[in-house]
Homo-oligomer: A and B are copies of this chain.
Amino acid sequence: MKTSRIIIALFALTLLFQTAYSQKQNVDLLILGGTVVTMDGSRRVIDNGALAIEGGKIVAVGESADIAKRFKSTQTISANGKAVIPGLINTHTHVPMSLFRGIADDLDLNEWLTKYIFPAEAKNVNENLVRVGTRLGLAEMIAGGTTTFCDMYYFEDVIAQETEKAGVRGVLGETLIDFPAPDNKTFDDAMVYAEAFAKKWKGNPLIVPAIAPHAPYTVSEEHLKMTRALANRLGVPLVIHLAEAQSEVDFVRENKDMTPVEYVRKIGLLDGKTIAAHVIWVNSAEINVLKDKGVGIAHNPQSNMKLAAGVAPIPEMLKMGLRVGLGTDGAASNNDLDLWEEMDTAAKLHKIYAKDPKVVSAEEAFAMATIGGARALHIEEITGSLEVGKMADVVIVSLDSLHQTPLYNIYSNLVYATKASDVDTVIINGRLVMRGRRLLTLNEDAIKKDAIALRNKIIDSLNN
């Protein structure tokens, strides 16, 4: 009979569909329908693209139609009309210093440090301040789409605890310096702390511990060598401020008759994974040395401008293929942790400085804030681009604000028009940490309340 044949056919079709459906791979999270800016080797940009995320990792990147056919998930985010980008990477900061944001500005570096920053730190930096300041900085960074940061400060173990709890990726190092610090009164004490810290955090899915000697002018040659030995023995990177100020160049010249880069190269400090912040006062030969040694460069355009430190030769470094990322530096010298402004500023600063509007294009600036930053931190195998096998550090950015309208070119829009406030959703290591601008791992109100209470204490401490 006709009817029974139709029933049988329908039954067969249903079975077929069910089979097809069950063949879809189940994943933790699907992001569908956005403009996916991969920052992979071929700089693929996928209109109406999608990501599949499973076990914290990106397991597929492609066209939405294709990904939707191959994967299913109980958690799907629509990114229609939005950009899906790699999480931004802040290659240099001192995160608890967000509590010193705006405490003093428009001063000579020396006056700023000795009259304000150092006294404020000496009188106030303790575990509690570091905890509150870290939370404040983490919240600001997440809200602005930063998923990884590189830090050196004191009580770094507290910073690591808070960073892990907030679900943020960090390359973190306890500062090693030849002066009494708020937590460790001697260099030797700090080395003990740093070693225990590195051993504790090594292998953590979010935290890469580092050894962080402060700078060539604040740590002796012998001590610098000890830091490199420790870093290599533990198999962790070394973070240092390098060639930041003319005064540093003068100091090293006077004491070692060399430039800062010549000096650290000669003493073997660059023989291992290194992340160097600022790197302003270098010539072409030194850039070659940094290239050969694979040194990661943390370029901090806004801090360097505000403190009048100098302009790093970034166009030349990019041309030479160095590992160059962007950083904000601490919020006391910026005064925020906003990588969108750093991208915009980097592109513009190098144009005016080189007298050439073609240097540091929008795409190059965006690369510095993503895959370049990952390379600078030596973690390009796990983050910095949207590629299968990398950890899912993903940011979804609205593209429909007035200041982003209209859109002609995605890199131009992201670098020259997009603001931190356009960041909508943030995923780190596969975990949602912000959705629709609401922080999911931190309590914004409590953070602000704690910060204001500490600010009052800090003001009192400076007046007494």
Contact = CB atoms under 8 A, between A and B. Distances in A.
A367 interface: no
Given A106-B357, A362-B106, A351 B405 contact: no
A337 interface: yes
Contacts of A82: none
A307 interface: yes
A393 interface: no
A383 interface: no
Nearest to A112: B357
Contacts of A341: 341, 344
A163 interface: no
Nearest to A142: B402
A112 B357 CA distance: 10
Interface residues of A, number: 69
Contact of A310 (B352, B412, B455): B352
Interface string A104-144: 11111100100000000000000000000000100110011
A306 B406 contact: no
A412 to B, nearest CB: 4
A143 B147 CA distance: 28
A102 interface: yes
A420 B417 contact: no
Oligomer copy total: 2
A413 B103 CA distance: 10
Interface string A384-416: 000000000000000010110111110011001
Find the residue from A102, A105, A306, A341 having the highest chain B CB count within 10 A: A102
Nearest to A139: B402
A452 interface: yes
A223 interface: no
A114 to B, nearest CB: 14
Contact of A105 (B352, B405, B409, B444): B409
A420 B419 contact: yes
Given A341-B341, A405-B452, A406-B454, A308 B102 contact: no
Contacts of A139: 402
Contact of A408 (B103, B355, B362, B419): B103
A357 B112 CA distance: 10
A311 B452 CA distance: 38
A90 B403 CA distance: 15
Contacts of A349: 305, 349, 352
A347 B302 CA distance: 10
Interface string A432-458: 000000000000100110011011000
Find the residue from A351, A408, A413, A421 having the highest chain B CB count within 10 A: A408
Given A362-B106, A413-B102, A419-B419, A140 B402 contact: yes
Nearest to A108: B357
A449 to B, nearest CB: 10
Nearest to A444: B402
A406 B345 contact: no
A99 interface: yes
Given A105-B361, A305-B348, A310-B355, 13 more contacts: A102-B412, A102-B413, A302-B344, A302-B348, A305-B352, A334-B416, A341-B341, A345-B348, A405-B448, A406-B452, A406-B455, A408-B455, A419-B420
21 contacts: A101-B417, A102-B406, A102-B413, A102-B417, A106-B358, A106-B361, A106-B362, A108-B357, A306-B416, A308-B355, A310-B352, A341-B341, A341-B344, A345-B345, A402-B448, A403-B420, A405-B447, A405-B448, A406-B454, A407-B455, A421-B421
Interface of A: 98-99, 101-109, 112, 136, 139-140, 143-144, 302, 304-311, 334-338, 341, 344-345, 347-349, 351-352, 354-358, 361-362, 400, 402-403, 405-409, 412-413, 416-417, 419-421, 444, 447-448, 451-452, 454-455, 459
